[in-house]
Chains A and B, each alone.
Chain A
Amino acid sequence: MTRYLPLLITAAVFVLGYGICAAQFPAFLSTRVVANLLTDNAFLGVVAVGMTLVIISGGIDLSVGSVIGFTTVFLALAIDRWGVPPFLAFFLAFVIAGLFGAAMGGVIHAFDMPPFIVTLAGMFLARGAAFLLSTESIPIRSPAYDWITETSFRLPGGGRLTIVAIIMLIVFIIGGVLLHFTRFGANIYALGGSRVSTGLMGIRVGRNTVAIYACSGALAGLAGIVFSLYTSSGYSLSAVGIELDAIAAVVIGGTLLTGGYGFIAGAFLGVMMQGLIQTYINFDGSLSSWWTKIATGILLFLFIALQQATLTISARATRRTSTARPAGSPIAGVARTAS
């Protein structure tokens, strides 16, 4: 049960927050608000899934925002200027972003370098590449875009579940299955627990590292596709700073930044929590947008403090009953100090 405690607390806080919002503005209970919450945060959600995989493996990916920016410019040029069919352009963007992530993973593993710095270089590189393609905002005119943005499923109550929202939900489900029910997912947890032990266990660290960063890159590419659908344009400065929102979402969702512990569902709650704050501020009207940043910071702090407290308490419990708890227990695994 302790294993799910951070996740349950996040869920409880979200429900409580939603309740407070709904008490003040009854419209929060309508499916319109719910559907908008999903649509408006779809790209952040897609990125957060990749970020969760990377962070649980003990790494970090700072390049995702730049990859989104690059992808939107690439799509705009490909579809609007070069006449590439939209779905082929989506596929190409997805593959390029995935290869870019794989390359970063390869460098991290091959040269034994800190992910923070490698993906920082990746961040400069992808943003620079986007600038080189074009520094202007390019509108995308394409029947396929019109079709995708206009298609939606009506929910009872008037909400519209858009395609991008559905994409995000599907990505969360696939991500959850991948992380929690496959061998690859188990390897990700193992890597986050201890890279060295994982290697000694016979798991191929290099191949998994490349795969993890390839996933994150490809999902950033997908988020770029979602972002370009959302805005119907490509701009090299789009999604600046999204990596921090994604990291914040993952942390608020209860995943440990030291790696080895976390849930996909947590990232979903983290994304929705940030969306909720934003929506509340929009509803209120008198609060300014910078309160979103301050509120996110406060939430981030509360959740980190909470994680720290749970860790301390469980570490104390582990020490008291050191023989009772199996060594593979997730809490025992994360109680180690950051390396």
Chain B
Amino acid sequence: MSPRFLRAGAPQIAAFVALLLIDWQVSPQFFDLRMQDGRLFGSLVDVFNRGTPVALLSLGMVLVIATRGIDLSVGAVMAIAGAIAASLADSHSLPIVLVAALGAGLLCGAWNGMLVAVFGIQPIIATLILMVAGRGVAQLITQGRIVTFNSPDLAWFGNGAIAGVPVPVALTIAVLLLTLAAVRGTALGLLIEATGANAKASALAGVETRGTTFAVYVWSGFCAALAGIVAAADILGADANNAGLWLELDAILAVVIAGSSLLGGRFSPSLAVLGAFIIQAMNTGILLSGFRPEFNLIVKAGVVMAVLLLQSPKLTWMSGRLARGPA
């Protein structure tokens, strides 16, 4: 944890801790941890485990949003990857299953990237195509049924553990570190921010904006495919209708909570992952509290509005005037 992360993410970290404390108040066993079959169990672990798909999606989404784009297709890509993984799992070896599912994700990302970067189509529309058609493709793969599998190799991605840490969580950490290494260790992050802040000026300054834009959509497709594999492994099957349904919105929400501007040019992968876990802590809290899960959406809507109002340029301007006092 760098000091920069702590400083920039103070509100998000505070919100996450507060939510965990609320969850603890609601359910006294919340922080209880136990080891079972070499894997950590407990409500806290559950928050991280269940938050994994959205966390993975948000790692792709955060880079896309940083280039001033948006990827609506991630839920559909999840469904496609999950459908491929589940239908191949029992007849093929794990490497082939993974290559096929992740390859499909990369292909979907490349399609989106081509539409946005090469043809200059607005991201929201370009990715809408795959959002509409993708779920149809996933249903085509599963022939409209819920495909189940028994392969323990693939199931390991849902219920396995590495040194006690559930595999999905370990996977998220690994992808986060990879993302951070790429965007903070190299100039890639700078290029992404430049593309998002002003694509035209960046292109004139010699930034390969097209390539950068293309790459972030490919990365988003890859992350979505990973999330799809984890989701399929979790339920030992693929449901083309419901896998990843609405998760694109949760991923966008996670990125927004992380304080990344939807107008591009500013982003933080670590905070996006934290945002995903904040959403999950909220969901878990509502469930534990015995409130009807129907409240989930209302609470989410409230959080979106609150975060947006805090980020809103007009409000910043107003609070700045208030702080300075009447002129």
Tell me the A residues contacting B by CB distance below 8 Å: 60, 107, 110-114, 116-118, 120-125, 127-129, 131-132, 135, 244, 247-248, 251, 257-258, 288-294, 296-298, 300-301, 304-305, 308, 337-338
Contacts and interface: CB of A to CB of B under 8 A. Distances in A.
B297 A257 contact: no
Given A244-B132, A297-B129, 4 more contacts: A112-B314, A129-B298, A248-B132, A290-B144
A294 B140 contact: yes
A247 B315 CA distance: 31
A308 B262 contact: no
A135 B297 CA distance: 13
4 shortest A-B CB distances, which residue pairs?
A: A297-B133, A293-B136, A128-B297, A131-B294
A244 B129 CA distance: 10
A114 B309 CA distance: 11
B304 interface: yes
B137 interface: yes
Contact of B121 (A117, A294, A304): A304
Contacts of B308: 111, 113, 117-118, 121
B248 to A, nearest CB: 10
Given A118-B308, A121-B304, A294 B125 contact: no
Contacts of B133: 293-294, 296-298, 300-301
A120 B249 contact: yes
Contacts of B50: none
8 contacts: A116-B262, A117-B308, A121-B301, A290-B137, A290-B140, A294-B136, A301-B129, A304-B121
Contacts of B99: none
B250 to A, nearest CB: 10
A290 B129 contact: no
A124 B129 contact: no
A293 B132 contact: yes
B121 A308 contact: yes
B192 to A, nearest CB: 18
A247 B124 CA distance: 11
Nearest to B130: A297
Given A257-B125, A308-B120, A117 B304 contact: yes
Interface string B105-135: 0000000000100011110111011111111
A107 B298 CA distance: 17
A134 B128 CA distance: 31
B259 to A, nearest CB: 13
Nearest to B317: A112
Contacts, number: 125
B311 to A, nearest CB: 8
B140 to A, nearest CB: 6
Interface of B: 70, 115, 119-122, 124-126, 128-137, 139-140, 143-144, 200, 240, 249, 252-253, 256, 262-263, 292, 294-301, 304-305, 308-309, 312-315
Contacts of A301: 129, 133
Nearest to A135: B294
B296 A128 contact: yes
Nearest to A293: B136
A148 B302 CA distance: 38
Nearest to B300: A124
Which of B70, B131, B144 has its CB near the most chain A CB atoms (within 10 A)?
B131
Given A125-B298, A296-B133, A248 B304 contact: no
Contacts of A244: 128, 131-132
A116 B124 contact: yes
A338 B294 CA distance: 37
B136 A122 contact: no
Contacts of A296: 132-133
Which of A110, A288, A304 has its CB near the most chain B CB atoms (within 10 A)?
A304
A305 B120 CA distance: 10
A29 B122 CA distance: 38
Given A288-B139, A290-B144, A293-B136, A128 B295 contact: yes
A247 B131 CA distance: 12
A338 B213 CA distance: 15
Nearest to B133: A297
A305 B314 contact: no
B304 A124 contact: yes
Given A60-B124, A128-B301, A296-B132, A112 B312 contact: yes
Contacts of B144: 288-290
Nearest to B144: A288
A297 B129 CA distance: 5
Contacts of A289: 144
B139 A290 contact: yes
Nearest to B119: A308
A302 to B, nearest CB: 10
A190 B110 CA distance: 35
Contact of A113 (B135, B300, B312): B312
Nearest to A107: B305
Nearest to B296: A128
